Amino acid sequence: MTSCTSGVYACNSNALQVCNQNSWETILQCDASLNQYCQASPYYNCAGSSSTGTATCTNGQYFCLDNALQVCLNGSNVTILHCDSSQGQVCRSNPYYDCFGSTTITLTTATTQISTKTTTTKTIAKTTSKTTKTTTTTQTTTTTTTTSTTTTTTTNTSTTTSSNKYKLITYWGQDSGYYTNGQLQTSLYSYCATGFFDVINLAFLYQFGGTTPADFQLDLSNYGSYSYIGGVASGSFANDVGADIIACQNLGVKVLLSLGGGVGAYSVPSGSGTAIGQMLHNSFFGGSSSARPFGSAVLNGIDWDIEASGSSQSDIVAVNQYLHANNENLDISGAPQCPYPDAYLGGSIAMANSGYTFLNVQFYNNYCNLANGQFNFDTWATSMSSLNIPIAVGIPGSSESAPAGGYVSASVVQSQLSAIVASATDAPWLYGVMTWDASSTAANNNFGDALRTVLNGL
């Protein structure tokens, strides 16, 4: 086995393993004879078995017991990390499982977190048993917010908007910065408070649509998860993400919900657009529902990051149109790959009255990035000019957050954007820059500060 980072979990040889002192230890062996396979999402466990026998706990479930981090293995509790009370350590589950309180283990140290640190899944280990939680928040602002224990009717409290000509957009929730500096993402508000960003997309609503358009699941990595399945809400978020959303909006930062991602169970089937639009409206915008992950907070829009086939392009547009019709001043963005047209969103983008406010084109992990001479902003600008949709240039926040390439320095970004601004045909369609993601942008020597300087200087 190769060396590893202590506290990181992985599936190896069909077994769930944890890295302990730079070596892998098996804590749950999946039984291939029972058709079990080790999986990382939606939490680390052995999936596929129709029966695991009588158990006193649920296999793969993590919990704190006797001041130790334990995992359920074949129906029994197995200790994988003792917290040292002599050092003031206490086992905790929020914002992630670890021993907290030691002078050597802090919120920003990733030596004991349980999370799926892979460049593809970007999801965290979740317990299999969640406590249903209803949170009712009342904000006192210049706008009145009314809440109820069963339904929540809200009004967007944000009255401040960014005055920056060119926007800096990023994503928060999937902790990409861990691969850059080994540290976990910090709170949503911490990135808003930098003053660099104009829009932050919450990533991701990774399950929605399909045959049950009222259901959804949302994952924010080390900040927790939330699901609404079959009329039952479960899960919660560390700290108060809803309060952070409102605080960000009061700073002039728009907060959008990103739908999809590289890994997830989502689709927009034919005929489902209105139903999905209603679900989003009631749970995240101006509607009412018992399932509101962020309480009274009202988001500023959605972002489509569709990276899988199976969605009706006309129904994606139907979602956009429903949300626009029922909410004022809504932003709807798309995040297509840079090869034109995009395989999964191209049809919806090309439709008349598609409802898109702007696009976050991913000019990375593809040949058409800013680094190799095939940067094709002009192709996108030509096509979007007839549709009146401006374009944000998407780049990685660090080299580690784009394993297939495309990271460039701020000086390269400045050079490419300056060429766009100098072009009479391309300049009108430049919206700004998008980075994946906030944590990697911050971990990369405050790359966000450099990009904000570049944008302000155009």
424 Cβ neighbours under 8 A, 6+ residues apart: none
155 Cβ neighbours under 8 A, 6+ residues apart: 143, 144, 145, 286, 298
Give the residue from 276, 218, 261, 220 showing the smallest Cα distance to 244: 220
Q: Would you say how long the chain is, in residues?
A: 458
Q: What is the 3-state secondary structure (H, E, C) of 3-51?
A: CCCCCCEEEECCEEEEEECCEEEEEEECCHHHCCEEECCCCCEEECCCC
Contact between 19 and 5 (Cβ < 8 Å): yes
Residues paired with residue 24 on neighbouring β-strands, in sequence order: 19
307 Cβ neighbours under 8 A, 6+ residues apart: 260, 261, 262, 337, 344
Number of alpha helices (DSSP H) and beta strands (DSSP E) in the chain: 10, 26
Which secondary structure element, helix H or strand E, spans residue 381, and what is its range? helix 377-385
> Is residue 400 among the annotated active site residues?
no
Residue identified by tokens 């050092």 is: 87
The catalytically annotated residue of 25, 307, 328, 400 is 307
Rama region for 448: left / alpha / beta (φ>0; ψ in -120 to 50; rest) = alpha
For residue 407, give both structure tokens: 């990271």
Residue identified by tokens 């969640």 is: 130
Catalytic residue numbers read: 307
